[in-house]
Chain A
Amino acid sequence: MYAEFGTTLDLETNQSLQALAAALRARSLPWVRDVVPALCGIAVHFDPFHPELPASVLEYFQVLIEEAFKSASKFEGSGRIVEVPVCYDLEFGLDLKEIAEKTSVPLEEIRKRHAKSEHHVLMVGFSPGQPYIGGLDPKLSVPRRPTPRTVMPAGSVAIANAQTAVYPYETPGGWSIVGRTPLRVFDPAREPASLFAPGDRVRIIAIDKKEFESLL
């Protein structure tokens, strides 16, 4: 079940969704598996075979969301700043040249504009710990690639649709790669397992290949 509250990237809407998610989770319904606040909507995943599942799930959710909206408190962001070293060498930034052609922004300027953008984590999803980071410099706006790569190297920092994502693992993906971070984005044995959480601010530190290797 997915409820949409907007169709554009909007920090304020996004932050109220984090509060709504917290209020929904606080209900602890036995047949609800996951509450996922997204960029501008919220998904509730349920166990389709749970014996206590209400007969009319959709109507139940409508009431639930209205109630949760009333009880939700204001969300002011996590207050955290996550520093992310990124190496923009062509060896890692596999699509930098293509982006330069599409946007007519020279390579060096792409690197600078990307690192300096006002980054905020709007959503974590796709694969474990993968952040969708808003605030990309508008000059770097490119669409998704027509055919997704079957393998994105782990640590790839990629852009599409006014956002940046960091791919924690080797997974398929359709965004354009600008660089790579040596950081471990997700580690199930670490507390917290995810480096990023919705509401975090992100500061990118451009590094060279030597620094990249020393941070691995």
Chain B
Amino acid sequence: MTLRILRPGLLTTVQDRGRFGLQHLGVVPCGAMDPVALELANGLVGNRRDEAVLEITVLGPEIVFESDTLVALCGAEMEARLGGMPMPANRPVLVATGTVLNARRTTLGSRAYLAVAGGIQLEPVLGSRSTYLPAKFGGLQGRALRAGDVLPLVENVAALSAKRYESLRNKKDFAGLRTVRTVSWSAPALTLPAREPIVIHAMEGRHHGLFDAAARRAFFDATWKVTPDSNRMGFRLSGPVLARSEAGEILSEPACLGTVQVPANGLPIALMADHQTTGGYPKMAEIAAADVPRLAQLAPGGSVQFARCTLEQAGELRRVLRQRVDSALRSLAWDFRK
């Protein structure tokens, strides 16, 4: 009823959908950087969409499953081997006790999600299992996973996994292994960057007018690079320096997932899952909610352009993405009910 970490990878944390309802006390939402991949991974193993999973960043972990477990790997494509063979991604995979997942480097995208049937069963903190690294709470002792860590799964994970696997259509054996079984179909990857620079839709922010004309143009014209000091809190972008038309301070006010703020050095920061709940730097733009998961898949060094959109267009992008995720999940739900 556990899985054990043999090698942790660069930054592997436990994340669910996030910690909500406490932002008025400054409690950061956290949660999966790519919530679409989280939802698909959970759907593939028959979980609720907000169950806790492992978020894997750029360099993957080595993990041994200590009971028969139905798993799914979604989000970034990566070199990952299961029982010594390349692991099939974006589909449910039933692994036998003792099987080792050896994940290496991501090859497209930067964050992969490993879901297990029943979810990771750590004690929730303030309503969520998501790890918040700066404050050291949530997940496993509020920290990134280390070699030797043991994560609890549901008590009956073997029986639950077998039952869920049995209910799937088009099952097939995998690479002649007895220890790994899967299916002959896969879910779509909806958030991976096809080619760079990726195009991310953004609305003008509340303080757009505080910047000079050149800066307002440059934000939407330039190709921005994600700098190496980017993290789960924010993506720092390098490109043209964005100058204000008038100096002066604004009062701190609430910030949001996808807010693009510009400190006085003129270089924008896109706020991500561990974003501060309030901030006092002017807001150049607000990224459309539907495009935040795709931005989250960009690794340091990756490039991005911003395309101007309206509130209505952002809403439409949101509805389209919701439909695509729903239709991917509906066919799975049908399978699991059978």
Contact = CB atoms under 8 A, between A and B. Distances in A.
A197 interface: yes
Contacts of A129: 25-26
A135 interface: no
B253 interface: yes
A88 interface: no
Contact of B278 (A33, A48, A126, A172): A126
B260 to A, nearest CB: 15
A104 B210 CA distance: 30
Contacts of B229: 150
B249 to A, nearest CB: 5
B251 A36 contact: no
B185 interface: no
Interface stretch (B7-15, B83-91, B106-114, B314-322): B314-322
A177 to B, nearest CB: 16
B290 A48 contact: yes
Which of B21, B28, B134, B252: most chain A Cβ within 10 A? Answer: B252
A212 interface: no
Of A4, A37, A126, which is in contact with the most chain B CB atoms at under 10 Å from its CB?
A126
A182 interface: no
B265 interface: yes
B24 interface: yes
A157 interface: no
B275 to A, nearest CB: 10
Interface residues of B, number: 45
Given A144-B280, A148-B263, A38 B254 contact: yes
Interface stretch (A39-47, A92-100, A111-119): A39-47
B23 A34 contact: yes
Range class of the A interface residue count: 35 or more
A197 B25 contact: yes
B162 interface: no
B28 A128 contact: yes
Interface string B127-151: 0000010111110000000000000
Nearest to B264: A146
Interface of A: 2, 4, 7-9, 21, 33-41, 43, 45, 48-49, 51, 55, 57-58, 123-130, 132, 143-148, 150, 160-161, 163, 168-172, 174, 186, 188, 193-194, 197-198
10 contacts: A45-B254, A49-B35, A49-B321, A123-B252, A126-B279, A129-B25, A161-B280, A169-B136, A171-B276, A188-B126
Interface of B: 20-29, 35, 125-126, 132, 134-138, 206, 229, 233, 249, 251-254, 256, 263-265, 276-281, 289-290, 311, 315, 318, 321-322, 325
